[in-house]
A and B are shown apart, each in its own frame.
Chain A
Amino acid sequence: MSATITAPAADAARTEPGPDPAGRRIDWGQPFVYLVALVIAAVAIGPVLYVFIGGFRTTADLNANPAGMPDPWTLQNWAAVLGSTRFWGNVLSSMILAFGTTAGVVVVGVMAAFVIARYTFRGREGLYLLFAAGLMFPLTVAALPLTLLLRTLGLHGTFLGVIIPSIAFALPTTIIILVPFLRAIPDELEEAAAIDGTTRIGFFWRILLPLSMPGLVTVGVLAFVGSWNGYLLPLLVISTGTLPQELWPLPLGVTQFSTQYSQDTGAVLAYTSLAMLPALASFLFAEKRIVGGLTGAVKG
């Protein structure tokens, strides 16, 4: 944060006549803050909990008393889902898509961002503008021509047919986040490397990449979550192909399951809650990285 902005604001605060410092020792705010925090947490997690707990109820029980606790608790729904090849096929498919997309986005994105951040050449601004303008193109706009294009290329109905456009649509965010990261690495490092006889590419490989790890993790996690949750592209590319339902990614699998077994609310809830788990787990694992990465991208 630049000091020039900071100073006036701080001065303004300093000149503010403060209340008796002693009064602040009893912090009346604290219980209130906890109450608010509790309410926020309940609202955020409540619906998710409802789905999870609902998965432990029988459908008859759910229909009779939608708001109650399980009576009796049943593990049958969960067992049925966990025992089905279909669920694991969905998970596997989502994994392939998410890891493929993430790897592609990170590799292709960092290469482009490196050039945009650290090379001077004609057309660099235009290049950046081009990629950044991609943020304005929602997938929905391109969906129809895109599916026709994929069929022409023979990519329709394949995992690659989802992965490649996913990479392409994730590039704008990736480049916008990575360019400042790469640019922030001091020139002195590059110059020192050059004196040691390292080429730019060697510098990229051995110094820049390790240093920009936090940025890479951030874009990686964003791409992973985006791909894991993606619905429209798999709907148009995978669900209409020759891949059997057992190999559809989770969002498709969940909608298909909930249409097929719509009468069995308990099973649908169990399937849904199990489908939530991987995304939640990966977020739990990477939460600090995401926050850290966004901090890097946002703070001045």
Chain B
Amino acid sequence: MNRRSTSRLVALTAAAGLAVAALSGCATGSGGSEGSDGDVTLTWWHNATSGPMPAVWEEVAAEFEADHPGVTVEQTGYQNEELQRTLIPNALAAGDPPDLFQVWPGGELRDQVANEYLMPLDDVIPDTVSSVGATVNPWQVGGETYGIPFTFGIEGFWYNADLFEQAGIDETPTTLDELVDAAGKLREAGITPISVGAGDKWPAAHWWYQFALHSCAPEVLQAAETEFDFSDDCWVEAGEQLKEFLGTDPFQEGFLGTPAQTGAGSSAGLVANGQAAMELMGHWNAGVIGGLTADQQVPEFLGWFPFPGIPGAAGDPTAALGGGDGFGCSADAPPECAELLEYIMSEDVQKRFAASGSGIPTVPSAVSSLEDQNLAAVAEGLAASSFVQLWFDTALGTTVGNAMNEGIVNLFGDAGTPEDIVTKMQDAAATL
């Protein structure tokens, strides 16, 4: 009796141990991309969580599955920062990455390539690489292509034409003084002039980027990106100009806690619901704003104009700040991954992307499918720019980028100086 109960316990424990082993064994098996029966499962991580994009990617995945029997595409949209900062780095580091995923140019791309995490694409899908022309350059390292952008655009102001009219502003500002002037008129009319999602840090930082872009000569920008040299005075000047601009009180109340893209109270939501007159934001903003209105449509009143010039500044007046989203395959992904990427970049899908109003497509022949006038204006602005500076935080990599953004938000909150921003960037660069 006694012995029996003991041995029963032993058996139970052993069984439990076996079960654990079996379960984890299964898990190991399912982690791979290819099942034993030749079927292929592609995992695809992207950053589309709202607006029309999740539906577009879902369609694309379904169509690809239909065209490729035996292939299953598991696509998931993640919140952008989580995807970029936690999910993909962890997955790559542990050797269990998704097959197709978002690849950000700049510092991160260089790290990933150095660790041989990414599949070189030039020999696999050469036509797709060349279809986007020079736009692919930021996704190249040492002449090899590791990612292909499906969208690329520049930043500008998304504004409410009705509110501008109400405040008596006839023309969109073309100089910084005119912008300050317009903001003043809007204030007088009882309208919040500009919304900024400083709670997410980067939307506030983009203001400083713009001032830096206009203050710093192209060589200085180049030196910053390659050698982390921020000794030029123009970096501090950018902060001083921003500080002066902040002094005119152009932003909504409580901007330090405002998120950029989620909910009616976000900076994009304020514009979408007519509670703020404009927002400085990337080319994707039409889609975001459209997703935040009650009827899920891009509002009629929405207009776009580029960041105004700063007369007498040292920077290249025709330079613009921008960036894009691209996909790449992990080094060990099955060949179907590149095929899926090829399909995503096909003219047909690019045209549908353009028609969805979520951003500017990168395949030139698809640009004509932009139905949204504002996006067409952004595309025009893009074409007119002599060069496009990548978002500084992307270009400088996570470590320096985060320190920079933090310093800029401190300036927004009057808890730091223009010099502090540069010091933070230098300190962060020193730890690399």
Contact = CB atoms under 8 A, between A and B. Distances in A.
Contacts of A46: none
A263 B269 contact: yes
B264 A263 contact: yes
Nearest to A104: B16
A197 B5 CA distance: 13
Nearest to A164: B20
B54 interface: yes
A154 B294 contact: no
A149 to B, nearest CB: 9
Given A147-B94, A197-B2, A262-B266, A242 B30 contact: yes
Interface in A137-170: 144, 147-148, 151-158, 160-161, 164
Given A63-B264, A158-B23, A240-B91, A260 B54 contact: yes
B401 interface: no
A74 to B, nearest CB: 14
Question: What secondary structure prevails in chain A residues at the interface with B?
Answer: helix
A239 B76 CA distance: 9
Interface in A74-107: none
A263 B28 contact: no
Given A158-B27, A242-B74, A265-B263, A151 B96 contact: yes
Contacts of B23: 158, 160
Contacts of A262: 50, 261-263, 266, 269, 292
B2 A198 contact: yes
Contacts of B266: 262
A198 B272 CA distance: 75
Contacts of B262: 258-259, 262
A85 B81 CA distance: 27
Interface stretch (A173-181, A199-207, A219-227): A199-207
Nearest to A148: B94
Interface string A27-52: 00000000000000000000000000
Contacts of A147: 90, 94
B79 interface: yes
Interface in B73-115: 74, 76-79, 86-87, 90-91, 93-96
A68 interface: no
Contacts of A60: 294
B416 interface: no
Interface in B30-85: 30-31, 41, 43, 49-50, 54, 74, 76-79
B273 interface: yes
B9 interface: yes
Nearest to B50: A260
A148 B6 contact: no
A80 B241 CA distance: 50
Contacts of B79: 259
Interface in B171-185: none
Contacts of B28: 153-154
B247 to A, nearest CB: 32
Nearest to B3: A199
Contacts of B292: 262-263
B1 interface: yes
Contacts of B293: 263
A259 to B, nearest CB: 5
A261 interface: yes
Residue from B96, B293, B294 whose CB has the most chain A CB atoms within 10 Å: B96
A236 interface: yes
B193 interface: no
A212 interface: no
A63 B273 contact: yes
A202 B31 contact: no
B222 interface: no
20 contacts: A63-B264, A63-B294, A148-B93, A154-B24, A154-B27, A156-B96, A157-B27, A157-B31, A158-B24, A158-B27, A199-B5, A201-B6, A201-B9, A202-B5, A205-B5, A236-B86, A242-B74, A261-B50, A262-B261, A263-B292
Interface of A: 59-60, 63, 144, 147-148, 151-158, 160-161, 164, 197-199, 201-202, 205, 236, 239-240, 242, 244-245, 256, 258-263, 265
